Chain A
């Protein structure tokens, strides 16, 4: 006996509709500091074939102001331009000096009210919590109630202007895995 889920989905899909005009896909982020992991080409635009602006040596401190796809817009004393995101690591050059807490990393520190001063009250999912846990069939049933038929997933994708495409899996070296979609 399946619960009468469908009206819920219709409501859900209706809620998706006011998505508005295509949002810009570049995401502005609050300026953050980072550093180059390796010698890195800086380009005028976030494309591999864009005009090179210059090169940043390994371990150059940069300020990251924007992100687009696999690219970051960075500023250094020498250049401003786009670099491949995976050539940059956020935080300190010496990761041992990384003292960023989770709450400040996700922006709690920038919010009114500031950060909680103690973490002893963390609502947990620690190793101990896991080991002490008692099964909750009610919660599982609740989760079943939110499950989505594949067709609703397709509608959800269309509402978000997502179209599927063939992309092969890659191995550790980046080679396409044979026989994959």
Chain B
């Protein structure tokens, strides 16, 4: 399987190089025939992204996480960090990929945002924690990020973007005998760019629906995520604390409208759905020194 992927990568890199040069030459025609025309090219690319192994995915995510944490460090509060890991690990255990090396962290930023990196890294900002009111809300937000990881949304986005150029090039290096470490490090930069640009809207809506379900599976009130979005929905659109979140996500009102349709009445009657607001407020009390 692996040699096929690398070969596909080589062809793809070569294709991009030719297409970038913008010359419809005989060479290019020969190339397109070689990969089976446009359909073949698309297929190669698909194989390539699908072929990133789990260890490579994890290594990529760790590379990205190093940079996210380089931008803002973790909040220096071990109790809070362990608490968020406990909620996250429990919610992730309800997903299709419970055995990934899940890592959750709260970083020291006043901005409201949350980030997932491939392979199981989830970082939420202190500002996001401050905007939440219960463990059920936190579970919903983490569930949304967990869904990005389990569905490999970042890898899919890279596949569709020009970053595939790099992916192809490094895969070609791999074909020449070098290790996949290069593949991994070459993908870290483009993945970071995704945090400034955002994923596809459809991926965000899917992550919302999955986040709600993951929280519900974990025993939480599934309306935690909608409630968090309600808070965000009434904040003015140009608030500096939310600038990046608003730029990279559909607006919270639209997300709520979609969730209203997707959730229907089916989530209303889950027995003993819990909010665990007390436990959340206790764990985050140092971030919120004054009672609401």
* Chain A contacts to B: CB under 8 angstroms: 8-9, 12, 15-16, 19-20, 23, 25, 27, 29-30, 37, 47-48, 67, 69-71, 84-87, 89-92, 95, 98-103, 105-107, 110-113, 119, 122-127, 129-137, 139-140, 142-144, 146-150, 152-154, 156-157, 160-174, 181
B244 contacts the other chain (CB 8 A): yes
CB of B269 within 8 A of CB of A48, answer yes
Inter-chain contacts of B121 with A (CB < 8 A):
143
* A148 → chain B closest CB, angstroms: 4
Give CA–CA (A134, B192) in the complex, Å.
Answer: 12
CB of B239 within 8 A of CB of A154, answer no
* A8 → chain B closest CB, angstroms: 7
CB of A133 within 8 A of CB of B71, answer yes
- 4 closest A-B pairs by beta carbon, nearest first, are A91-B234, A162-B219, A133-B71, A139-B69
Inter-chain contacts of A156 with B (CB < 8 A):
86-87, 89-90
CB of A123 within 8 A of CB of B221, answer no
9 A-B contacts, Cβ less than 8 Å apart?
A8-B82, A20-B278, A126-B111, A140-B65, A143-B65, A143-B105, A146-B78, A167-B217, A172-B205
| CB-based nearest A residue for B260 | A86
Inter-chain contacts of B261 with A (CB < 8 A):
172-174
* A139 → chain B closest CB, angstroms: 4
Most buried by B among A99, A103, A143: A143
Inter-chain contacts of A143 with B (CB < 8 A):
65, 69, 74, 81, 103, 105, 121
CB of A165 within 8 A of CB of B209, answer no
CB of B221 within 8 A of CB of A25, answer yes
Give CA–CA (A154, B133) in the complex, Å.
Answer: 22
Question: How many B residues touch A, CB cutoff 8 Å?
Answer: 106
CB of A140 within 8 A of CB of B66, answer yes
B119 contacts the other chain (CB 8 A): no
Give CA–CA (A160, B105) in the complex, Å.
Answer: 20
* B143 → chain A closest CB, angstroms: 11
Q: Assuming A98-B236, A139-B73, A162-B220, is B260 touching A170 (CB within 8 A)?
A: no
Inter-chain contacts of B223 with A (CB < 8 A):
69-70, 85
| CB-based nearest B residue for A174 | B264
* A81 → chain B closest CB, angstroms: 16
Give CA–CA (A85, B79) in the complex, Å.
Answer: 32
